[in-house]
Amino acid sequence: MIPFNRPSLEGGELDNMFAAVAAGHIASSGPFSARVTESLRSALGASDVLLTSSCTDALELAALMLDLGPDDVVIVPSFTFVSTALAFARTGARIRFVDIEPETLGVDPERVAAALDHRVRAVVVVHYAGIGCDIDGVRAALADTPAVLVEDNAHGLFGTYRGSPLGSFGRFATLSFHETKNFVCGEGGALVLNDDEDIERAHVLLDKGTNRRSFLRGDVDHYSWVDTGSSFGMSDLLAAFLLAQLEAKDEVLRKRRAIFEKYSSLLEPYEEELGIRCMRVPDDRRPAYHMFYVLLPSRHLRDRVLESLTRAGIQAVFHYVPLHSSPAAARFSDAPAECPVTDDISSRLVRLPFYNALTPTDVEHVVDQFVQAVHTAMDIADA
Ligand SMILES: Cc1ncc(COP(=O)(O)O)c(C=O)c1O
């Protein structure tokens, strides 16, 4: 049995958790959180990084920072996880779904440009599979508008676009440390701030709408309720786990890159024969090596291949179901959307097992079984 994902220990995770307990601080904003924050802040060149209990929480915090209301619209790609839209829908803002580009599966800047009007307060982009979307295209579309760019960078920590880190372009960017991501602590996330002006208020909203941070700094003699917010902070126990994962960054990226390259080199030669397309990385982007996906020729074939792989003990999976046609879209979206690329890609995409401990032999076995499964599905379709 080869699972789709298996989180692994990369170094001192458990020792760090013991140390957090011994030090007597396991709630949020503890010493391990400070070290994780500093390591992410310097890697991304950010103004600040706030650790949260999930990427969903970080997106909700970004949405609260924008003080959105029912007259506002947020542009979101239809091909993404629910949270990218839900976090903004919860504020009362309407969601306007747009389509993606077939090459990177990131948002299509032309679709963004066509969807802009005076009601649009923010555009959320996703770096799908850890490959940067067309950031310059989106920034050009937003150039003469007040709309804020938000990067949902759940997949792309340490990936780059034209030499700069993913997560460094938006006024806000979010990260995920969920067990399925490259760097994990079970459930976790972060809000990256790229504008100094947002630092003070973001900390208030993170900490139940209170100015506790000013109190801890000694700026005020007691702390009070001063703004909206919630309890978004990450426990220092989880930050302790996460720190060890981030300290193993080079090794984790090396392992994941080797898996990615092995899948590519074994599967690309089959593209023509099987009518498949392996994921591609544009030359001006460095991937975060989050996943390896393949596009099959049709939904029917994709579904048969997934069934065959399950029977062979290999857990390959499909991914996002388009949000623009989801039941909640009728309630939260601004207007019906047409997203033909999303519909097409979503129906043909397969993600192959991908985790740090996957061995070269495992990858060879997955590829053998995958090729066999596609042949069998094609033979049945021809018969
Ligand atoms: C693009 C994207 N954004 C947000 C999330 C939510 O992340 P979390 O589980 O940390 O809330 C996911 C989850 O997989 C995701 O794929």
Q: Which atom of ligand 1 is nearest to the CA of 177?
A: 10
Return the CA Rg of the chain. 21
The predicted structure's pLDDT at residue 288: 98
Q: Residue 383 pLDDT more than 80?
A: no
Number of H helices, E strands in the chain: 15, 13
Cα 44 to its chain centre, rounded Å, is 16
The predicted structure's pLDDT at residue 51: 98
Distance 103 CA to ligand 1 centre (A): 21
Average pLDDT of the residues of the chain? 97
Q: Which among 173, 226, 156 has a CA at the least distance from the CA of 50?
A: 173
Q: Residue 199 pLDDT more than 80?
A: yes
In single-letter form, the type of residue at position 175 comes to: L
Distance 290 CA to ligand 1 centre (A): 13
Distance 67 CA to ligand 1 centre (A): 22
Q: Which of 81, 179, 238, 321 to mutate to test the pocket of ligand 1 (most atoms within 8 A of CB)?
A: 81
At residue 106 the predicted structure's pLDDT band, cuts being 50, 70 and 90, is very high
List the residue whose alpha carbon is closest to atom 13 of ligand 1: 81
Would you kindly state where each structural domain of the chain is located, as residue ranges? Answer: 13-247, 249-382
At residue 226 the predicted structure's pLDDT band, cuts being 50, 70 and 90, is very high
Pocket lining: 108 vs ligand 1, CB cutoff 6 Å = no
Q: Which atom of ligand 1 is nearest to the CA of 80?
A: 1
Q: Which among 36, 27, 92, 91 has a CA at the least distance from the CA of 232?
A: 27
Residue whose token pair is 């391990």: 32
Pocket lining: 353 vs ligand 1, CB cutoff 6 Å = no
For residue 29, give Cα distances in angstroms to 81, 90, 223, 297: 28, 26, 16, 49
Pocket lining: 52 vs ligand 1, CB cutoff 6 Å = no
Pocket lining: 83 vs ligand 1, CB cutoff 6 Å = yes
The predicted structure's pLDDT at residue 381: 74
Pocket lining: 81 vs ligand 1, CB cutoff 6 Å = yes
Whether the Cβ atoms of residue 161 and residue 135 lie closer than 8 Å to each other = yes
Distance 337 CA to ligand 1 centre (A): 22
List the residue whose alpha carbon is closest to atom 15 of ligand 1: 81
Q: Residue 212 pLDDT more than 90?
A: yes
Q: What mean pLDDT comes out for the span 115-121?
A: 98
Pocket lining: 55 vs ligand 1, CB cutoff 6 Å = yes
At residue 380 the predicted structure's pLDDT band, cuts being 50, 70 and 90, is confident
Distance 107 CA to ligand 1 centre (A): 16
The predicted structure's pLDDT at residue 379: 84
Cross-strand partners of 51: 190
Distance 270 CA to ligand 1 centre (A): 31
Pocket lining: 84 vs ligand 1, CB cutoff 6 Å = yes
Q: If you classify domain 13-247 with CATH, what class do you get?
A: alpha beta
Q: How far is 130 from 108, CA to CA, in rounded Å?
A: 16
The predicted structure's pLDDT at residue 332: 98
Pocket lining: 150 vs ligand 1, CB cutoff 6 Å = no
Cα 200 to its chain centre, rounded Å, is 25
Q: Which of 54, 56, 105 to mutate to test the pocket of ligand 1 (most atoms within 8 A of CB)?
A: 56
Q: How far is 163 from 18, CA to CA, in rounded Å?
A: 38
The predicted structure's pLDDT at residue 238: 98
Q: What mean pLDDT comes out for the span 101-106?
A: 98
Distance 382 CA to ligand 1 centre (A): 39
Q: What mean pLDDT comes out for the span 13-35?
A: 97
User: Architecture of 249-382 per CATH?
Assistant: Alpha-Beta Complex (3.90)
In single-letter form, the type of residue at position 353 comes to: P
- Any long-range contacts for 63-68 (C-beta under 8 Å, 24+ apart)? 63/87, 63/88, 63/90, 63/91, 63/93, 64/91, 64/205, 64/228, 64/229, 64/230, 65/172, 65/198, 65/201, 65/202, 65/205, 66/91, 66/121, 66/122, 66/148, 68/92, 68/93, 68/121, 68/122
For 162-183, what is each residue's pLDDT tens digit? 999 999 999 999 999 999 999 9
List the residue whose alpha carbon is closest to atom 12 of ligand 1: 81
Q: What mean pLDDT comes out for the span 244-271?
A: 98
At residue 382 the predicted structure's pLDDT band, cuts being 50, 70 and 90, is confident
The predicted structure's pLDDT at residue 43: 98
- % of residues, the chain, pLDDT over 70: 100
Tokens of 190: 């972060």
For residue 203, give Cα distances in angstroms to 42, 234, 296: 18, 13, 45
